[in-house]
């Protein structure tokens, strides 16, 4: 399967490197695969997802989308064209489904794709085959 997003030696900290939240993270995400990020409170899940979404930059290492560095792509460009974030408890239109919310965001940001519904949707049954 094709690698979509890759973390290479990613580290993140707020004050000092000795108080790292994430340290030497190496992981690749493949297309058409469902992933779950789990961990105890304070373990770095939100920080990890913020980095993956291009909402923040790693302090060390790099994050790559389809082989290109997010720094090369530009975080604003990456967020505008390649990633969507559905927040857990806000920023959703309550009268729409999650899929409709993501598709609406694509319309607002003028993201073109031949089949937006298929692009946004994921069939978990396919990942079990």
Q: What span, in angstroms and rounded, lies between the C-alpha atoms of 12 and 30?
A: 23
For residues 21-48, average pLDDT: 92
For residues 3 and 54, state if they share a domain: yes
For residues 69 and 94, state if they share a domain: no
With residue 60 as reference, give the H or E element that holds it.
Answer: strand 60-65
For residues 79 and 98, state if they share a domain: no
pLDDT higher than 90, residue 41 = no
- Structure token pair of residue 39: 């961990």
Q: What span, in angstroms and rounded, lies between the C-alpha atoms of 56 and 77?
A: 13
- pLDDT per residue as tens digits for the range 50-69: 999 999 999 999 999 999 99
Closest to 25 in 3D by CA, of 50, 56, 62, 73: 62
For residues 3 and 43, state if they share a domain: yes
For residues 93 and 49, state if they share a domain: no
pLDDT category, 105, cuts 50, 70, 90? Answer: confident
For residues 70 and 90, state if they share a domain: no
For residues 16 and 38, state if they share a domain: yes
What is the extent of the structural domain holding 96? 85-129
- Number of domain units in the chain: 2
């Amino acid at each position: 399967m094709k690698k979509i997003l890759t973390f290479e030696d990613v580290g993140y900290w707020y004050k000092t490197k000795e108080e790292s939240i994430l340290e030497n993270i190496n992981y690749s995400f493949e297309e058409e695969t469902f992933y779950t990020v789990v961990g105890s409170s304070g373990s770095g899940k939100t920080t990890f997802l913020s980095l993956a979404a291009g909402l923040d930059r790693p302090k060390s290492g790099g994050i790559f989308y389809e082989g290109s560095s997010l720094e090369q792509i530009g975080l604003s460009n990456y967020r505008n064209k390649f990633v969507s974030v559905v927040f857990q408890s806000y920023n959703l239109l309550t009268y729409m489904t999650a899929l409709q919310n993501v598709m609406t965001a694509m319309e607002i940001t003028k993201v073109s794709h031949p089949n937006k519904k298929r692009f946004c949707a994921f069939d978990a049954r396919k990942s079990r085959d």
